[in-house]
């Protein structure tokens, strides 16, 4: 679910991560714009309200055609929390430690990373080597393979209404099986995505179960591993989405590809999408720059560099 308040050439992206429709395509991939995501912008006044446990997972950030517009927009919407982001800190690109992963390690439920996205990622690594002498380190973080499972585990909380209740504006609960039957004959007031999200939540692992505790532990360990690796000057380059922008409704059959971005929401780490041009079919592709907690300025600096090197946002072609 996205909330987009448009201004010329930009907007605000809201990821309702605790109730994210699992087949949503990250809009930065669909449009090829620069997007910054962090857990620092206030969620006050938004609906549905996240539970206390999920508050840090709800990411709000600016979405702009040009990376240079991300920082001034963020200054405005971050409000009193802006001082925590070190936005005034001058970044010396030469001193950045660069890491990269080409995929999540081969999750069985996620699409393989498209070859052109791999090539684009390698070109970004090559650029930093030639322009700044930065020797990026290729890493393979094994727990990233469980990104989707970890995300679902973190979404299971004791407090807060179920998604089936949100479908009725918390004035009761939808019978998801009945709604699915109604949808099949065109009689439901709810979308297929909404119904299946409620079904997955209903069928998901039980909060507090042994498997749930295991996955929560995996999340904590992954957070510590990334924090230690990235430190105060590290940036991880990672695909934003495993495939270029798909056809309409294609994500319905690839519902877990969101985990490439979703994992960083539940980890609470800042990430900025960096457009890297178009695929051979004219579709936007790109990668994300991820830093440790409250080192948002590093991801923005990397986004600016990659925009300078690869041109950033590409206007859509006019079809005659």
Pair 121, 91: CB distance under 8 Å: no
* Tokens coding 209: 């179960």
Pair 146, 107: CB distance under 8 Å: yes
Q: Residue 96 above 70 pLDDT? A: yes
SS3 for 120-183 is HHHHHHHHHHHHHCCCCEECCCHHHHHHHHHHHHHHCCCCCCCHHHHCCCCCCCCCHHHHHHHH
Alpha-carbon distance of 43 to 190, in angstroms, equals: 25
The per-residue DSSP string of 250-313 comes to GGGGSTTTTHHHHHHHHHT--EEEEEEEE-TTS-EEEEEEE-STT-HHHHHHHHHHHHHHH---
R_g of the chain, CA atoms, integer Å: 19
pLDDT of residue 167: 86
Q: Residue 97 above 90 pLDDT? A: yes
- Which stretch of DSSP H or E encloses residue 61? strand 59-64
Give the pLDDT confidence of 230-289 residue by residue, as tens digits.
Answer: 999 999 999 999 999 888 888 888 889 999 999 998 998 999 999 999 999 999 999 999
Q: Residue 51 above 50 pLDDT? A: yes
Q: What is the pTM of this model?
A: 0.85
Q: Which residue has the higher pLDDT, 10 or 237?
A: 237
3.90.1300.10, 3.40.50.1000, 1.10.645.10, 2.60.40.2550: which CATH number matches 10-156+204-310?
3.90.1300.10
pLDDT of residue 218: 98
Q: How many CA atoms lie within 13 A of 255 on its CB side?
A: 13
* Tokens coding 219: 């999340």
Give the pLDDT confidence of 141-177 residue by residue, as tens digits.
Answer: 999 999 999 998 988 877 677 888 888 888 889 999 9
pLDDT of residue 55: 64
Share the mean pLDDT of the chain. 84
Q: Residue 72 above 80 pLDDT? A: yes
Alpha-carbon distance of 129 to 101, in angstroms, equals: 16
Rank 17-31, 53-67, 196-210 by mean pLDDT and report only the highest.
Answer: 196-210
Alpha-carbon distance of 73 to 59, in angstroms, equals: 15
* DSSP three-state, residue 5: coil
Cβ-based neighbours of 266, under 8 Å, separated by 6 or more: 17, 57, 150, 151, 154, 155, 219
């Amino acid at each position: 679910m996205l909330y987009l308040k448009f201004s010329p050439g930009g907007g605000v992206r809201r990821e309702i991560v605790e109730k994210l429709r699992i087949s949503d395509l990250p809009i930065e991939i669909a449009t090829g714009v620069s997007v910054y995501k962090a857990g620092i912008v206030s969620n006050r006044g938004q609906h549905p309200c996240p539970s206390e446990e999920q508050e840090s997972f709800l990411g709000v950030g600016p979405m702009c055609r040009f990376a240079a517009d991300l920082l001034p927009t963020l200054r405005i919407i971050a409000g009193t929390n802006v001082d925590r982001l070190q936005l005034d800190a001058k970044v010396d690109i030469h001193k950045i430690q660069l890491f990269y992963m080409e995929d999540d390690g081969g999750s069985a439920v996620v699409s393989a990373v498209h070859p052109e996205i791999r090539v684009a990622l390698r070109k970004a690594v090559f650029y930093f080597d030639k322009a700044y002498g930065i020797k990026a380190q290729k890493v393979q973080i094994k727990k990233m393979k469980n990104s989707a499972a970890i995300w679902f585990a973190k979404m299971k909380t004791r407090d807060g209404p179920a998604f089936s209740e949100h479908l009725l504006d918390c004035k009761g609960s939808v019978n998801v099986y009945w709604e699915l039957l109604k949808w099949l004959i065109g009689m439901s007031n709810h979308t297929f995505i909404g119904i299946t999200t409620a079904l997955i939540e209903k069928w998901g692992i039980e909060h507090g179960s042994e498997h749930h505790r295991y996955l929560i532990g995996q999340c904590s360990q992954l957070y510590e591993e990334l924090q230690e690796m990235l430190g105060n000057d590290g940036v991880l380059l990672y695909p934003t989405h495993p495939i270029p922008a798909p056809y309409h409704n294609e994500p319905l059959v690839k519902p877990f590809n969101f985990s490439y971005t979703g994992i960083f929401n539940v980890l609470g780490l800042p990430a900025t999408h960096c457009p890297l041009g178009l695929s051979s079919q004219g579709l936007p592709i790109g990668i994300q720059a991820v830093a440790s907690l409250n080192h948002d300025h590093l991801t923005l600096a990397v986004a600016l560099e990659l925009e300078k090197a690869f041109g950033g946002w590409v206007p859509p072609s006019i079809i005659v």
